[in-house]
């Protein structure tokens, strides 16, 4: 474990930043936490609202088993304690988008207890420092609706589609010490949630958002008073919010002021936080056990099923890619950072091994290199992501097989890939129709070599006089004349013979 040494330089010396994140993650389910109403993003306002979500008198909440199951699976993926007995509490406050007048949450007995996440400061750099960030708890609660304010300042509207959607609140310990650590933690958490499939992690759609707790102190001193910046909706904004908030706190303290515990908002345009309201104490919410709901009691069969349904998680996958498949640490990190990429790579790998009749470790390196340089390059250029890739893993495997068995060269492989992207044709068809097959026909290659030597007699003399570097020139000329289709190994051998 390497400690990060992020410091803020103030007039009175160096300051350390302390960060804890509370992440709200919407549970990916068909139905809401306590009602059967659907949860799809982007529906017309107020079309996904049951009588329970609208808090009509006399309606009773019924816990949705799938929401609980997803929160338990998430806890397990974070190595956390799962509490077989937990309970829902009412958190009382008034808000126009909260028709019940209270939120059903879990304060005293959360579903999930302590866990941890291992993060790498720079995910793509396997040499960068690693750190374990503690998770305090995960509790399950209802999301609120959404207010929309008309251009006209006199009107506000409420959309209750989000009202009652299940949220997991994932609370970290105050273990982070720099914006980079917080960014790495959030990215890793999102990656794990996506692997587990319990939250889509789409921060731009609000299905994952972070409350950012920040305080400053002299290195190693007592914890300072924190502020909490609410609902920050991108990794970059979280990092910016920490940086500017820590700076602000140092300036306040150094100019003789005092930090008050308060809720703040992040303004993405200015890149800074501003005060929203002073923080009420928890008891102001008058939490009490929700009388409409029985405690949750989980049995072993349920927990066993949750455990058995977990996929291989990013850290384990990364170790396996390095250890069993022999990939470089960098390639293993890149391919496992996100679940869609890993899934695509594994499909490519399985299909490559099948068509080439080899073991996965034998085809893994070529597959990894091609995916990371050629496919990612193309996707970037086209503005697409791996799950909207115009080329399928099967087509990728077919291309790799043509290169592996010498039907086409690496260079021609890149051309074929470009044509695949343009036309959607399969690599086999393209190679056939465009006559791109690599030739080992010694007669044809020898003839080309003879022509080139005749046209470059001076260079032949120089080469024979000891200018070895010219060999590359002859290779290049031969490949060019053969339109890249000559087998490079055969060209080398024949040239050596002819020039020697």
Binding site for Mg ion (CB under 5 A): 22
Q: Which does 223 bind (CB under 5 to 8 A by kind): Mg ion, ligand ADP, none?
A: ligand ADP
* Of 281 and 458, CB closest to Mg ion: 281
Q: Which does 61 bind (CB under 5 to 8 A by kind): ligand ADP, Mg ion, none?
A: none
Q: Which does 365 bind (CB under 5 to 8 A by kind): Mg ion, ligand ADP, none?
A: none
* Of 87 and 137, CB closest to Mg ion: 137
Beta carbon of residue 273, minimum distance to Mg ion (angstroms, whole number)? 15
Beta carbon of residue 151, minimum distance to ligand ADP (angstroms, whole number)? 34
Q: Which does 18 bind (CB under 5 to 8 A by kind): Mg ion, ligand ADP, none?
A: ligand ADP
Q: How far apart are the first and last CA of the chain?
A: 58
* Of 103 and 487, CB closest to ligand ADP: 103
Beta carbon of residue 224, minimum distance to ligand ADP (angstroms, whole number)? 6
Report the alpha-carbon angle 66-168-191, nearest 5.
95
The length of the chain is 500
User: Which residue matches tokens 């470059």?
Assistant: 456
- Residue pair 180/69 in contact (Cβ under 8 Å)? The answer is no
Beta carbon of residue 119, minimum distance to ligand ADP (angstroms, whole number)? 15
- Residue pair 120/184 in contact (Cβ under 8 Å)? The answer is yes
Q: Which does 174 bind (CB under 5 to 8 A by kind): Mg ion, ligand ADP, none?
A: ligand ADP
User: Which residue matches tokens 């924190």?
Assistant: 226
Beta carbon of residue 174, minimum distance to ligand ADP (angstroms, whole number)? 4
* Of 211 and 395, CB closest to ligand ADP: 211
* Of 22 and 425, CB closest to Mg ion: 22
Q: Which does 485 bind (CB under 5 to 8 A by kind): Mg ion, ligand ADP, none?
A: none
- Alpha-carbon span 249 to 264, nearest angstrom: 13
Q: Which does 331 bind (CB under 5 to 8 A by kind): Mg ion, ligand ADP, none?
A: none
Beta carbon of residue 211, minimum distance to ligand ADP (angstroms, whole number)? 7
Beta carbon of residue 137, minimum distance to ligand ADP (angstroms, whole number)? 8
- Residue pair 216/7 in contact (Cβ under 8 Å)? The answer is no
Beta carbon of residue 241, minimum distance to Mg ion (angstroms, whole number)? 15
Beta carbon of residue 106, minimum distance to ligand ADP (angstroms, whole number)? 12
Beta carbon of residue 2, minimum distance to ligand ADP (angstroms, whole number)? 21
Tokens standing for 231? 């609902």
Q: Which does 402 bind (CB under 5 to 8 A by kind): Mg ion, ligand ADP, none?
A: none
Tokens standing for 145? 């609706």
Taking the CA atoms of residue 118, residue 121, residue 124 and residue 125 in that order, the dihedral angle to the nearest 10 degrees is -110
Binding residues for ligand ADP (CB under 6 A)? 18-22, 171-174, 213-215, 223-224, 226, 228, 282
Beta carbon of residue 211, minimum distance to Mg ion (angstroms, whole number)? 6
Q: Which does 21 bind (CB under 5 to 8 A by kind): Mg ion, ligand ADP, none?
A: ligand ADP
**How many Cα atoms are found within 13 Å in the side-chain-facing hemisphere of 183?**
16
* Of 211 and 351, CB closest to Mg ion: 211
* Of 21 and 78, CB closest to Mg ion: 21
* Of 68 and 133, CB closest to ligand ADP: 133
Q: Which does 409 bind (CB under 5 to 8 A by kind): Mg ion, ligand ADP, none?
A: none
* Of 22 and 114, CB closest to Mg ion: 22
Relative to beta strand 227-232, strand 262-267 is parallel
Q: Taking CB positions, which residue lies at the least distance from Mg ion?
A: 22
Q: Which does 171 bind (CB under 5 to 8 A by kind): ligand ADP, Mg ion, none?
A: ligand ADP
* Of 250 and 342, CB closest to ligand ADP: 250
* Of 285 and 376, CB closest to ligand ADP: 285
* Of 53 and 141, CB closest to ligand ADP: 141
Beta carbon of residue 228, minimum distance to Mg ion (angstroms, whole number)? 6
Q: Which does 20 bind (CB under 5 to 8 A by kind): ligand ADP, Mg ion, none?
A: ligand ADP
Q: Taking CB positions, which residue lies at the least distance from ligand ADP?
A: 20
Tokens standing for 90? 């009412």
């Amino acid at each position: 474990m390497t400690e990060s040494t992020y410091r803020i330089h103030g007039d009175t010396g160096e300051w350390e930043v302390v960060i804890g994140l509370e992440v709200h993650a919407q549970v990916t389910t068909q139905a809401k936490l306590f009602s059967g109403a659907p949860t799809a993003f982007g529906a017309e306002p107020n079309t996904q609202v049951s009588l329970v979500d609208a808090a009509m008198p006399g309606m009773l909440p019924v816990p949705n088993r799938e929401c609980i199951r997803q929160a338990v699976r998430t806890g397990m993926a974070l190595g956390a304690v799962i509490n077989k007995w937990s309970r829902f509490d009412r958190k009382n406050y008034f808000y126009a988008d909260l028709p019940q007048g209270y939120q059903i949450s879990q304060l005293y007995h959360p579903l999930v207890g302590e866990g941890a996440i291992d993060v790498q400061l720079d995910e793509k750099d396997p040499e960068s420092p690693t750190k374990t960030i503690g998770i305090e708890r995960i509790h399950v609660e209802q999301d609120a609706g959404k207010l929309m304010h008309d251009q006209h300042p006199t009107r506000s509207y409420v959309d209750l589609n989000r009202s009652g959607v299940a949220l997991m609140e994932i609370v970290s310990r105050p273990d982070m010490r720099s914006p980079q650590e917080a960014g790495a933690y959030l990215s890793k958490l999102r990656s794990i949630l996506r692997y587990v499939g319990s939250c889509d992690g789409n921060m731009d759609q609000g299905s994952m958002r972070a409350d950012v707790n920040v305080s400053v102190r002299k290195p190693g001193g007592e914890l300072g008073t924190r502020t909490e910046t609410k609902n920050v909706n991108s990794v970059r904004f979280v990092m910016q919010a920490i940086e500017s908030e820590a700076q602000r706190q140092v300036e306040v303290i150094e100019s003789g002021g005092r930090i008050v515990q308060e809720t703040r908002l992040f303004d993405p345009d200015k890149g800074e936080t501003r005060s929203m309201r002073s923080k009420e104490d928890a008891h102001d919410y008058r939490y009490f056990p929700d009388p409409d709901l029985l405690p949750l009691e989980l049995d072993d069969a349920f927990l066993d099923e949750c455990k058995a349904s977990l996929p291989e998680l990013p850290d384990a996958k990364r170790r396996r890619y390095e250890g069993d498949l022999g990939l470089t640490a960098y390639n293993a990190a890149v391919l496992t950072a996100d679940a869609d990429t890993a899934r695509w790579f594994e499909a490519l790998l399985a299909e490559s091994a099948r068509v080439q009749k080899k073991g996965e470790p034998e085809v893994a390196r070529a597959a990894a290199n091609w995916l990371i340089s050629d496919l990612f390059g193309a996707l970037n250029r086209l503005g697409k992501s791996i799950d909207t890739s115009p080329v399928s893993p099967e087509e990728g495997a077919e291309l790799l097989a043509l290169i592996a068995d010498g039907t086409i060269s690496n260079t021609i492989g890149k051309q074929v890939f470009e044509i695949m992207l343009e036309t959607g044709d399969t690599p086999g068809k393209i190679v056939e129709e465009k006559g791109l097959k690599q030739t080992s026909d010694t007669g044809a290659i020898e003839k080309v070599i003879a022509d080139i030597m005749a046209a470059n007699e001076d260079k032949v003399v120089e080469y024979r006089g000891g200018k070895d570097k010219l060999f590359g020139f002859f290779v290049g000329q031969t490949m060019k004349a053969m339109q890249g289709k000559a087998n490079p190994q055969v060209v080398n051998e024949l040239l050596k013979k002819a020039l020697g």
